[in-house]
Structure 1
Amino acid sequence: MALDEMLRKFEKLPGKISFLYENLETGERVGYREDQPLMAASVIKLFVMASVFDQFEKRKLKQDFSLPIYKKDCVPSCGALTYLHEGICVTALDLVTLMIIFSDNTATNVLIDLLGMEEINRYIESLGFKNTRLNRKMYDVEKSAQGIQNYITASETGRLLTMMHRGELVSEAASSQMISILKNQQLCSKIPFYLQALEEEPEIAHKTGEDRGITHDVGIVYGKVPFLVCFCGNETDTPAFERIMGELSLELYKKVNGTGQK
């Protein structure tokens, strides 16, 4: 798809739209307002995961460290922990997995408490990211009402995923484990929507984010030629943007791989 065709799709949408595409073999890259900071919704969980794996690598936190989850820890909306029995024990790695594949808000908040918000932001800054910031926990209604939000950019999120793909985030082993978790994503109505119908369905390592007027999906599509796509939107028509995510992901896949339908 030509650049001007992509831009026309995004320019028809209301609100703030960012997009990044990169062919991870050739380096071909197309961006659309990819450096503008946007409210992160659950995409910030990618950066929490990276920070947790950094703690694993430094042996400051063990993957099998186990702790109970109580109702006082639980917040509504995405995930499973809120609906399980009082005092269920989970490991630190379980929390990461739940945070990513089910976007579990309770798991995320427990991890933020374990590491500390300042430590997570120090790690984000150590990677050279200037516009990505964790400012509050998930479902903190009071801080959200005060305008305190978490922020990402498509470009910095894309760089994090590229580092992971290349084995450069934390370590080669940690990068591989994080990609494996992302490939088990259970929220698949955006980037994967049409790709799931392909004869050879590609693996997709990705993370979504949703809130009122906010919709994101960022990840790597592992066809014969892997490519990165980051779709980020604030104050937009979420159903319309999500249709574009699915359609454009399929078109880009065909462009770099060629494919057939089931």
Structure 2
Amino acid sequence: MKHLKTACTIALASLLMFTFSCNEKISKKQNLESAVKAQIDSIEGTVAVAFYSLSEPKDSLLINVDEKFHAASTMKVPVMIELFKQASEGKINLNDSIVLKNEFKSIMDGSLYSMDINDDSDDIIYKQIGTKVTLKDLMHSMVTISSNLATNVLIELVDAKNTTATMRDLGAKHIEVLRGVEDQKAFDLGLSNSTTARDLMMIMEAIANKTAGNQKDCDAMLAILKDQQHNDMIPVYLPKEVIVAHKTGSITGVHHDAGIIYLPDGRAYVLVLLSKNLKDFDKGTDQLAKISKTIYDYVSSNNDRPLKITP
């Protein structure tokens, strides 16, 4: 009888500890959601947040994730994936060179337009017009410094429709890659590349889990994303030892960042921050960066036997 009482006492204590642990995690999650929503409310504009843990136990926070946004330069990640896909299929060779041109056809009527160096984040590449540049170098510039000229050359090569189809294969149901950058005629008629936070989350998860291509290609994609030169959102308030593989995007009133965050202890998570109709671009950007810090603080406070993810 004494042994039975002892066993019952231990079982009850274990149950109480388990209940306390679960309640504590629920409380942390509720606090996270409340904190992030308060930060969103301080931004004059429309915001979406998608957080998904790549480690165990699985965790997520999804706010406004099915809202449609202009993709801005986040569409360059799908183009990168399509380049690696076509290379793996033998359709292209990323080590091959192509003559760099600055003349593109509008998807509206086929009329020609050119990129303006003053509207691009990459001015060095314009000195290479008329010369041969490797596809892999163009791809690196497209992602790391968000070169619009490189993007248009590459998207013409792989085709926007193929890129969108590949995103569907990855489970991204709503992202649309319709055209290259600065196609003003298409833009005026509302024909723009678009995305949702959920789709970008799925795409980044696929790269992290090595399902966006073979392992070698996904490792190469991660290396490019980790070399990102525009770092004014997700990484801003994070510790220096945290590794962020990400892609930003911005146009007037729009600022995005989508990435994979690797903690020093081996855990990792995907974070997508999208915004539109920003009344104050700089203030909105800073508040989005602080949302990134809020989520990092939440993740780093939940350190329960992490599953190591290789960055």
TM-score higher than 0.5:
yes
The CA deviation at 1:121 is 2.0
Contact 2:170 2:202 in 1 (8 A): no
Map Cα deviations across residues 71-112 of structure 1 (whole Å, 9 max, x no partner). Answer: 446513122454323323211111111110000111111111
SS at match of 1:2: helix
SS at match of 1:208: strand
Output the CA distance in 1 between the equivalents of 2:51 and 2:169: 24
The CA deviation at 1:8 is 1.7
1:248 and 2:291 aligned: yes
SS at match of 2:128: coil
- Select the residue among 16, 19, 36 that pairs with 1:6: 36
Contact 2:70 2:192 in 1 (8 A): yes
The CA deviation at 1:247 is 1.6
Output the CA distance in 1 between the equivalents of 2:134 and 2:128: 16
- Select the residue among 244, 248, 258 that pairs with 1:204: 244
1:60 and 2:91 aligned: yes
1:226 and 2:229 aligned: no
Contact 1:204 1:220 in 2 (8 A): yes
Provide the residue aligned with 1:43 in structure 2: 74
Relative distance call for 1:254 and 1:8 in structure 2 (3 A) is closer
Output the CA distance in 1 between the equivalents of 2:228 and 2:177: 22
- Select the residue among 140, 154, 157 that pairs with 1:114: 157
- Select the residue among 227, 232, 236 that pairs with 2:278: 236
Q: How does the TM-score come out when normalised to structure 1?
A: 0.91
Identity rate of aligned residues, in percent?
25
SS at match of 1:22: strand
Output the CA distance in 1 between the equivalents of 2:124 and 2:175: 27
Provide the residue aligned with 1:86 in structure 2: 129
SS at match of 1:147: coil
Alignment of 1:87-236 (within 5 A): 87-195=130-238, 198=239, 200-223=240-263, 224=265, 225-236=267-278
SS at match of 2:255: strand
1:19 and 2:19 aligned: no
Structure 2 unaligned regions, length at least 5? 1-30, 105-113, 302-311
Q: How does the TM-score come out when normalised to structure 2?
A: 0.77
Q: CA RMSD in A?
A: 1.7
SS at match of 1:84: helix
Name the amino acid aligned to 1:202: V
1:30 and 2:72 aligned: no
Contact 1:81 1:107 in 2 (8 A): no
Name the amino acid aligned to 1:242: T
Contact 1:121 1:134 in 2 (8 A): yes
Shifted more, 179-188 versus 114-123: the winner is 114-123
Structure 1 unaligned regions, length at least 5? none
Structure of larger gyration radius: 2
Output the CA distance in 2 between the equivalents of 1:253 and 1:190: 13
